[in-house]
Structure 1
């Protein structure tokens, strides 16, 4: 086993430099006693490790120091959290007992390190968390928010060194970070970390598009810097003349954010004008903060025409994670829309460091919102019978992005996610109010339970004692609290109905001198084609199954050859005997190689992303239909890898394979005479391709259409896209997932 003494001179120097950097960056938050404790933790971490290298080949001590650096300087946590980041590998490797940490550093440090250890144990089996362990992970998180923050720091450092792992692990870890930790960082107000995580996730899951946008940003940097300079020059002068102390600069938006805009607007990079935001940060404190922000807003909107629909006032009512800022979008030079963000130094630190900054400023507006969020998480965790996949989905609802603010009749403020309904509001008031909700009044006007709430609504819930929740309500609500309570109540109702149905059937059969045995129950379930025994008894209770028909079946079942109906047993299928559904085209087995040890595997191409030869792909084992082949950039890939990582198999195209694949392109442009004919000619004559379909919708001089063609590989498809783009009148051409 390698020991600390066997480290090379370069490695020892790296450890020492990182340790000094940690102390230097933390000097403003540590006193002498704090530094003594951190130094003790560091010495213990260096001298007592049994395993000193991670899977990336990086020294564990270096990783711990990097995580501690993120915890201290980028998140802004204090001595306790930095100490925990340095120590928790010791417990993991049995280098130290819990009681030793408690004796040296105190119970608080020991409790957090124990929480980190529980998370580490879940990761020991693999590099990412899968569904079955997800509840344990969140239960640990819910005990102390600092555990979440330190693990986020750990995941960020893992992402920064992800290039040192093999491609399979890269995709698995990146998918999990994108699915869980980036939204969680956003929810905790860590916007800088969230943005970096999203960019790194894209770098490893959609490398081609990431590199394309990065290259374009680099090419346009000089023009962008000049534009920003021209935009802020007159603002600087006026704000200085007003005597305000401020810093104003342009900030290029993240690659992930730009890519989202390109997809959402279906536009090429060149047509995305809001590539950056202007940020004004004021050196104002106390009662002058908000008035000074509005003064800047007045100067900006006097100079440049504002878009009234794009004003975002998070000064009056901050986000639930404490985010405070004033956003507006104005028409700058060259008729380009520019987003301007206005905030103070305190607000900016809260935006960058989230929850930790609230603790620093004591009583920040985010503390109450964060406490409510953690309370909501614990409530979701309360029910141990939850389906694991539903559990993850409901947890994700707690990471919602946009919020609306509504009021009770007494004027109390309630925060809800955008898209929340009256029913969500009712459950937010109290679960009993939600169960009995029949509608509401908004400004005296009656609305249904499906009505989506809007900012500023004053809502009065209407209830009825005879109202009971219905299964379709689950599709109406948008919050995890409402979904959790609804599903719990519906299960209770179903259980009671099933019990009543069983009692009714047993009593009636007894009157007819018949007995309800387990064997008979299973025969009845098969005969009446219900999904389960409980469903059968519920149908008896509600009258969907008549008791007399049950009696009829029992009396005549011995006379029928179908007493024991042939049961189709779904045998466990190995990877060598999967059968593709008839309605799906299975490609020739020589086109793909699935995993390294599997042969003669039947598979089909997923309809959600339509992979073609040349795409980066993976296989996903499905319950019916064998193995589905997906693109690694498939919109569903992160969710599949996070929820069902154990069903992912490697897949790659066979060199020199020949097959025809279906691909669909979205085309937009000017609605000129003959443009459809010109596009068709490029496909059928210039490229000699078969075209399956083409559809064009015109609207006020423009058109938007889709073209489905058969291609051999991605190179041919990319050539076709370039040729169609060159057709006069075409604005943009992009590949779309669904056919």
Structure 2
């Protein structure tokens, strides 16, 4: 079991006594704070933050990060406030601790919303200090190493989250050692039998190819030595999950994976990297389509190396990575290299840090363009999980994009205004559709026009979060403007305008329609999710009357059998003339009139007084009725539904829409009809619409 004394002894080789003292004080503070708390494994909880600090020490992180690792669960799990951490350990350590602490649980938020809020809080803290995410990754790695103590369902949940969020983050930050272990641990938790099968297959192949691997390494080493190139040649096998991913994505059996082993050539200078590449290609036939120069064009996370794949005997593929010692260190530790206590603050490490910091800032800018944190986090996950391609502007500036990107993604990567005004593109001097897929190494030119504007179909052809967010932002703005104009037009037909509607009436209508703001109302109107004349009618209603919760009826002329008692029509089932109805005891000796099929009636059987009621044969008037129309969602369907109701001479009160996966939506319409025959005419009209799947009455 690790101890603080052992860690302090290890740190004494690199840290000043005052720095070691800060780490030790943080440990003892955490020990007191977590006193009486135990992990699922039964060990004292303080062993977890100590293990996280040890992981970060292996990466070579500084003393402030190690202190934060010791304290990373104190705010979240013990109730000690951030201000107390500030007083004891300073602003920097407190910021790191607060950054990895989850938000206080808010009861009216869903689990997905709370999770998204916590991710966003972490990203925002990371934008000011990347060490926040490094601490979080070490925290997650230790939790994954000790996953066996948890229930199977919890193991799967944590493993899925790790694969979707934390492993991609480690990859994006260039921390290869954490990235590969997180993926392998998650894979073993999610698919234990598959993991065991592949591990056994790797073990067998390793035994059969050891001689071959040693032979290749020796041939390359000898050739490099003859050319006077100082280098180390290593061979390694690819990590477990990367082999499984290739089998899954390319639908291959294990025995069909030909590039399971890779060689790494580590030399002293960039120039010798290219010389070593020439040596490799003189020994083995290269596959040029697999060559990548990440030295000339580094990855987003700052990774630099030459990658080449060659063909050996019997069509065996050999992958080589060629890099300098410094590139190798940065490739393994990523952004952590910037804070390493031994030679970490190099030009390469600083450049890498700047690239990653800019990427995180771009993520936050993307958040400003979306109203939904859950949607934003989905964009981040997508951005993290995709492979990269590199394309060039006409001025030879390198633009990094996810695989599958289109000229539209490229345009928005240049600037939002370029994306909003683009109407054509040239790739390698050839005109191509804006929706065509870009290939790495291409030169892309965007043609813009002041009169051009985005098309809704573009959302189906972009893969970057930045492009998707910018497009949604543009369409929402357009929708708000259209919605405002539509509502104002219908109000003017009623002799009113938006300026004449008082605040109290506006708030009443917003609340009645479950709208959070006037802006949301305009957006829903512009996107066709609500009908403008319905909202205009509600806004024009007598501002001294509240929106009725029950449908009023003219007493003694509509319903018989009430024994002289006052009554009202229930809003849950909306009875109309022709329905079989009953009266249920309500407040103040009032009868609430329900349809006999109403769920409320069935739930109250035996608990209240019922009266069998019937409609007056001469009952006249308009009666509210609600229906749910399930449709295949397409442009204009909401207007088609409303027009069908209007053509059947029914008056629409409210329309709401709820989307489901697979392009299916439920449109709920509350309308006024004179009775069941009139209602039947409305249904016949609606059923003639091709997108209508089903209709049922609420």
Please give the alpha-carbon distance, in whole angstroms, between the structure 1 residues aligned to 2:325 and 2:137. Answer: 24
Matched, 1:46 2:106: no
State the Cα distance separating 1:87 from its structure 2 match: 2.2
* C-alpha contact (below 8 Å) 1:162/1:170 kept by paired residues: yes
1:82 aligns with 2:62: no
Confirm whether residue 381 of structure 1 aligns to residue 367 of structure 2: yes
Distance 1:349-1:128 versus aligned 2 partners, 3 A rule: farther
Match of 1:327 among 300, 307, 328: 307
Other structure's SS at 2:435 match: coil
Give the equivalent residue in structure 1 for 2:50.
65
How many angstroms apart in 1 are the aligned matches of 2:113 and 2:459? Answer: 30
Q: Are 2:323 and 1:343 equivalent residues in the alignment?
A: yes
After TM superposition, give the deviation of residue 325 of structure 1 in Å: 0.7
Contact residue 51 and residue 93 of structure 1 kept, 8 A: no
Corresponding residue of 1:596: none
| 2:352 alignment counterpart | 366
Superposition map of 1:407-486 within 5 A: 407-486=392-471
Aligned residues of 2:490 and 2:533 also touching (Cα < 8 A):
no
Aligned with 1:298 (options 269, 278, 286): 278
Question: Does the 8 Å CA contact 1:539/1:545 hold for their aligned counterparts?
Answer: no
Checking the alignment, whether the CA contact within 8 Å between 1:501 and 1:540 is kept in structure 2 is: no
1:202 partnered with 2:262: no
Does the 8 A contact of 2:27 with 2:70 survive in 1? Answer: yes
Q: 1:111 — aligned with what? A: 95
Question: 1:209 and 1:440 mapped to 2: Cα distance?
Answer: 45
Where 1:472 maps in the other structure, the secondary structure is helix
Give yes or no for contact 2:8–2:20 (8 Å, CA) kept in 1. no
Tell me the CA shift for residue 30 of structure 1: 1.9
* CA distance in 2 between partners of 1:193 and 1:166 (Å): 24
Once the two structures are superposed, the pairs formed by residues 195-344 of structure 1 within 5 Å of their partners are 195-282=180-267, 284=268, 289-344=269-324
Q: Is the counterpart of residue 151 in structure 1 residue 131 in structure 2?
A: no
Say if 1:106 and 1:500 are closer, same or farther in 2 by CA, change over 3 A: same
* 1:684 alignment counterpart: none
**Equivalence for 1:510:** 495
Task: For residue 131 of structure 1, report the CA deviation from its aligned partner.
Answer: 4.2
Are residues 390 and 33 of structure 1, via their aligned partners in 2, closer, same or farther at CA, if it must alter by over 3 Å?
A: same
Mapped partners of 1:97, 1:133: distance in 2: 17
Structure 1 position 189, deviation (Å)? 0.5
8 Å contact 2:174–2:303 — kept in the other structure? yes
- Residue 93 of structure 1, CA deviation: 4.8
CA drift at 1:534: 5.6
- Partner residue of 2:334 out of 354, 358, 372: 354
* Structure 1 segment 659-698 matched on structure 2, within 5 A: none
Q: Give me the TM-score of the superposition, normalised by structure 1.
A: 0.65
State the aligned residue count: 533
SS at match of 1:398: helix
Paired residues of 2:100 and 2:136 also in contact (CA < 8 A): yes
Alignment counterpart, residue 378 of structure 2, candidates 393, 411, 414 = 393
Question: Which string of whole-angstrom CA distances, capped at 9 and with x for unpartnered residues, describes residues 174-231 of structure 1?
Answer: 1111110011111111122111111111111111101111122223332132221122
Q: CA shift at 1:241, angstroms?
A: 2.8
Whole-Å separation in 2 of the counterparts to 1:106 and 1:566: 61
Paired residue secondary structure (2:277): helix
Give runs of aligned pairs for residues 635-714 of structure 1, distance below 5 A.
none
- The structural deviation recorded for 1:533 is 7.1
8 Å Cα contact 2:408-2:434 kept in structure 1: yes
Larger RCO: 1 or 2 (CA < 8 Å, sep 6+): 1
Q: CA deviation at 1:471?
A: 1.8
Partner of 1:564: 624
Q: CA contact under 8 A between 1:22 and 1:69: conserved in structure 2? A: no
Distance change in 2, residues 1:255/1:129 (3 Å)? farther
Cα gap change, 1:275 to 1:560, in 2 (>3 Å): farther
Gapped runs of 5+ residues in structure 1? Answer: 1-13, 526-531, 551-557, 571-606, 609-621, 625-739
Does residue 164 of the first structure (1) align with residue 144 of the second (2)? Answer: no
* Contact in 2 for aligned 1:497/1:541 (Cα 8 Å): no
Q: State the SS of the aligned residue for 1:273.
A: coil
Secondary structure in 1 matching 2:446: strand
Larger CA Rg, structure 1 vs 2? 2
Change (3 A) 1:441 1:178: same
Query: What's the secondary structure of 1:347's corresponding residue?
Result: helix
Contact 1:159 1:200 in 2 (8 A): yes
Give the 3-state SS of the residue equivalent to 2:394 in structure 1.
coil
Matched, 1:184 2:244: no
Give how far 1:27 is off: 4.6
Q: 1:21 to 1:122 in 2, by over 3 A?
A: farther
Whole-Å separation in 2 of the counterparts to 1:237 and 1:461: 49
1:725 matched to which residue of 2?
none
- How far did residue 568 of structure 1 move? 4.1
The answer (yes or no) to whether the contact 1:231–1:333 under 8 Å persists in 2 is no
Q: 267-276 or 401-410: which moved more?
A: 401-410
Call closer, same or farther: CA 1:62–1:121 in 2, change over 3 Å: farther
Shift of 1:509: 4.0
Structure 1 Cα separation of the partners of residues 12 and 261 of structure 2: 33
- The answer as to 2:15 corresponding to 1:30 is yes
**Is residue 402 of structure 1 aligned with residue 361 of structure 2?**
no
- Structure 2 length as normaliser, TM-score? 0.69
> How far is the alpha carbon of 1:498 from its aligned partner?
0.9
